[in-house]
Amino acid sequence: MAPRSVQIVLFGGFELLDVFGPVELFGLLPEQFAVTFLAPGEAPVRSSQGVTVNADHTYAAAPAPDIILVPGGLATREVITDEAFLAWLRGHGTAARLVTSVCTGSALLAAAGLLEGYRATSNKYAFRWVETFGSTVEWVPHARWVEDRDRWTSSGVAAGMDMTVALIRALYGDDVAAEATGMAELDYRTDSTQDPFAALHGL
């Protein structure tokens, strides 16, 4: 069986761990996942931490999607006003089998119309801002991550790794997930409702 394609949607100012936490886990399972990076253009994309990434494809030339992952970061507050980006994300995400996000990446999904009729969560520090997007999104404040059919969204930054473990378990079972987490020595949460950060931010 061919590995499943995971496309990481990059944009200027993306949050580094939102991307490379999940990528570390996917990358430890090359028989199950093949990771590629998408970018607005040919130039390297700079993260909010200053690390640059050379993407495999531009948005315009991206292959048909299977799984896509949209990170967050402070830059989402600028990217979310880019109508051309949102139009592309709407089309590309609609064609994907699974749409996932980390942190405020869910705000981008909502603004693109990809979370209408779904339950979702996001970074609790920015939750009040995120929940202003989408008309029929059921925003869940007390959640480390939320799985709703073909949409997976996680809380802030490090929560993306917990969501990724849960996704791996859903797709390939406990043994495969244990292989990745064992190699990464990751002590992860299995209860998606265990979220101390919601109360911390008054949610």
- Among all residues, which ones are annotated catalytic? 103
- DSSP annotation of 62: P
Query: Alpha-carbon distance 22 to 103, whole Å?
Result: 12
Yes or no: say if 190 and 170 are a contact pair by the CB < 8 Å rule: no
Tally helices (H) and strands (E) across the chain.
Answer: 8, 11
Residue 104 class from Cβ within 10 Å (0-12 exposed, 13-18 middle, 19+ buried)? buried
